[in-house]
Structure 1
Amino acid sequence: METIIMVLTIDPRSSHAPKAQTVLTKHGCIIKTRLGLHEVSQNSCSEEGLIILHIHSSLDEIEVLEKELLDVEGVKVKYMSI
C-alpha cells in the first residue's frame, strides 16, 4: 500500500461537484483525509473548488479513482506518492 496525496479541482463547482462527490463516496474506504476548499466572501462564492485527499491504497485502486474522477466534466486530478 502506498500513501498518496491527490488534489483535484472542480470548475464550475456548482455543476460538477455532485458527480465528483459520487465518485469520492464510492471510493471512500481508501480516503483517510479529505479537505475541501473554495473562496468565500459576503458577496460571492467561488465556482472553482479544490479538494485535497490523503489516500492509503494500492496504485491500481488509485488509478481507478483517478480515471473515474477524470471522467467527470470539469475535474482535473494530480497526485503524488509520499
Structure 2
Amino acid sequence: MNCYQIMAVRIADRGKSAVEVQRILTEYGCSIMTRLGLHDQSTPGTCSPSGLLVLQLCCDAEISKELEKKLSALEGVKAKLADLSD
C-alpha cells in the first residue's frame, strides 16, 4: 500500500459536476486519507464556479489510477496523480 500519492482535481463547473465527483470520491473513500477543497471566493458570500481538490491517497497504484481515470472522464473535470514513493 502506497500512502505517498497526491492527486489534484480541477473542477471547471462545480454546479454541474459536484454531485458526480462526490459520488466517485465516496466510492473510493477508504483510499482517501486527506481531502482539501479550494475555490476562489473573490466576492464575499459567493462561491466560485470552479474549484480544486487535493487528495492524499493511501492505496495500491491500480486503485489510484482507476480513480484518476474515472474523475477525468467527467466533463469539465481533470485529475492528475503524483506518486512520491521511492
- What TM-score bracket applies, with the shorter chain setting the length? over 0.9
Q: What is residue 66 of structure 1 aligned with on the other side?
A: 68
Q: What is the CA RMSD across the aligned residues, in angstroms?
A: 1.2
Q: What amino acid does structure 1 have at the position aligned with 2:53?
A: I
The residue identity in structure 2 corresponding to 1:63 is K
Unmatched runs of 5 consecutive residues or more in structure 1: none
User: 5+ unaligned residues in a row in structure 2: which ranges?
Assistant: none
Which aligned pairs between 1:47-58 and structure 2 lie closer than 5 A?
Answer: 47-58=49-60
Q: Which residue matches 2:12?
A: 11
Q: How many residue pairs were aligned?
A: 82
Give the CA deviation at 1:43.
5.8
Tell me which stretches of 4 or more aligned residues in structure 1 moved more than 6 Å.
none
The percentage of counterpart residues that share the same residue type is 39
